[in-house]
A and B are shown apart, each in its own frame.
Chain A
Amino acid sequence: MTAILQTQKLRVEYRSRDFRQGNKVALNGLDLEVRAGEVFGFLGPNGAGKTTTMNVLLGFVPPSSGAASLFGIDVRQPIARQRIGYLPELTYYYKFLTAEELLRFYAKIFGLTHAETDKRIAELLKLVELEHAAKRPIKSYSKGMQQRVGLAQSLINNPDLLILDEPTSGLDPLGRMKVREIIQRLKEQGKTVFFSSHELGEVEAICDRVAILHQGDLKAVGTVAEVSAGSNNLEQSFLKIVGYQPSSVS
């Protein structure tokens, strides 16, 4: 299968604000390959380098060395993002716009025609159940509704690759179920999903392959069965890989 997301010896260093300290290595030579049509879980404790990897893939942060590409195109080229959808962990949208205006704006950025835009907006508002609130400003939405707008905007261009940063974090059980259903549906349509999550049960249930990152290093990559080998489940395997030592409480 073709790799549609690839990193080669990807290294990201941040300059420390304290000049006495050296540079902080956020990613240390990451080699990763996500193939077309798979659901790929990107795991790691906080500070492992997951968000940094996503920031590089989305062009927010330039790599210190190494390379990253989407669909074979260097991530520094904006066109590399033509076929992707991105859902950030929290909702960051123009609150003075309505959901319909926001989706129309992003559709224009992707160069969708008027007919395509109208069709996609209607489909997506139905999918995320926001048809009734489509003409209300986003600032009047509840948190859950704002997250659903986020999901809709990530799908506006009918992406072949969806990058989700902790998509179910902060969602209620219904919202989580909805996101899982959408990921499953995208998988059935042959789309690729790359997502970071702390919900290991969820990852185990829907991912084809997973990667575990710890302190900027790739510790494990493979199918859920391969990574969980020698442990009862993915969670135990994850804890073992990141070197978690259960502490006794006195």
Chain B
Amino acid sequence: MSKIFALAGVVIKELYRRKDFYVLFVLTALLTLGAGMVNFFHDDKIVRYVKDICLLLIWVSALVISVVTTARQIPAEREARTIFPLLAKPVSRAQVIAGKFLGCWLATGVALIVFYFFFAIVTGSKEHFWPWAAYLEAVWMHWVMLGVVIAMVLLGSIYFAAPSSTSTITIIVVGGILLLGTHLKIIALQQPEPMQFILTLFYFVMPHLEWYDLRDFVVYDMGLVPVGAVLLATVYAAAWTSIFLLLAWFGFRRKSLTT
């Protein structure tokens, strides 16, 4: 396990020594500060509207950070040939995949905490209301969902040499799931066969990332999601993460590094 943590440590160091995170944080911070200022109008609906925009921005920023950071991990190791001195050490390819995943996931978690904390402080200071439990639940579900996305990107990065290809494909897939996931079954029912069967099948086999979006709970103060549901969602995400990581390891294990 110490090898996996060592690998994760390098990923985290790389992230905070690059500028991506800081640029996205400054952009999100500026817009979140904007959210704090709208309360001058004492209009709850406007506050909610801007909170919604800020959370959307946090979702977009977190998705970009996690996808871009993860997509370059394995290709960059291969391109810079740092993979050779690394694999010449007593470390397996499975440990490399696990270390990369853990590093990206932890780094994304840190970014999420910073984003949500800033959001909570700014909006709470204007509303004088801090639903910390709801925020924690929202952060946890968001982070767990990003675990699935990171594992998916790692899998893609084994097969696509260019990080830009992996990033684009993943953002389209994740965006598609988040936007259409809930409606897919309804859309399927409106289709003739065999499209209805195909879409229904797709609905049941795809990872339902949209379940992890608790923005409405935060924006409209809808209270907490039952703990049992959060636990089930966590297990569901862990299962999908494991499947993607296993497939990534299987691909990486067979990957020739010298061509």
Binding site for B on A (CB under 8 A): 14, 55, 58-61, 78-82, 84, 86, 88, 90, 92-97, 101, 105-106, 108-111, 150, 153, 163
Are A79 and B90 also in contact (CB < 8 A) when A93-B82, A94-B10, A105-B6 are?
Answer: yes
Residue B190, interface by CB 8 Å:
no
Are A60 and B87 also in contact (CB < 8 A) when A105-B6, A108-B6, A109-B3 are?
Answer: yes
Within 8 A of A (CB), among B64-114: 80-92, 95
Are A60 and B84 also in contact (CB < 8 A) when A81-B89, A109-B3, A111-B2 are?
Answer: yes
Residue B17, interface by CB 8 Å:
yes
Binding site for A on B (CB under 8 A): 2-3, 5-7, 9-10, 13-14, 17-18, 80-92, 95, 256-259
Beyond known contacts A60-B87, A86-B88: 16 more, CB 8 A cutoff: A58-B88, A59-B87, A60-B257, A61-B258, A79-B90, A80-B90, A81-B90, A82-B90, A84-B88, A88-B88, A92-B82, A94-B14, A94-B80, A94-B82, A108-B5, A108-B9
Question: Which residues from A are CB-within-8-Å of B257?
Answer: 60-61
**B3 and A61 within 8 A (CB):** no
**A78 and B90 within 8 A (CB):** yes
**B88 and A105 within 8 A (CB):** no
Are A110 and B89 also in contact (CB < 8 A) when A94-B14, A97-B13, A101-B13 are?
Answer: yes
**A109 and B14 within 8 A (CB):** no
B interface majority secondary structure = helix
Q: Return the contact of B81 from the options A58, A92, A163 (Cβ within 8 A).
A: A92
Q: Return the contact of B258 from the options A55, A97, A110, A153 (Cβ within 8 A).
A: A55
Nearest A residue to B94, CB-CB: A78
Q: Shortest distance in angstroms between B250's beta carbon and chain A's nearest beta carbon?
A: 15
**B10 and A93 within 8 A (CB):** no
Q: What CA separation (Å) do A96 and B9 show in the bound complex?
A: 13
Question: Which residues from A are CB-within-8-Å of B10?
Answer: 94, 97, 105
Question: Which residues from A are CB-within-8-Å of B17?
Answer: 96
Question: Which residues from A are CB-within-8-Å of B88?
Answer: 58-60, 81, 84, 86, 88, 163
Question: Which residues from B are CB-within-8-Å of A93?
Answer: 82, 85
**A86 and B2 within 8 A (CB):** no
Nearest B residue to A92, CB-CB: B81
Are A108 and B3 also in contact (CB < 8 A) when A81-B89, A88-B81, A94-B14 are?
Answer: yes
Q: Shortest distance in angstroms between B230's beta carbon and chain A's nearest beta carbon?
A: 34
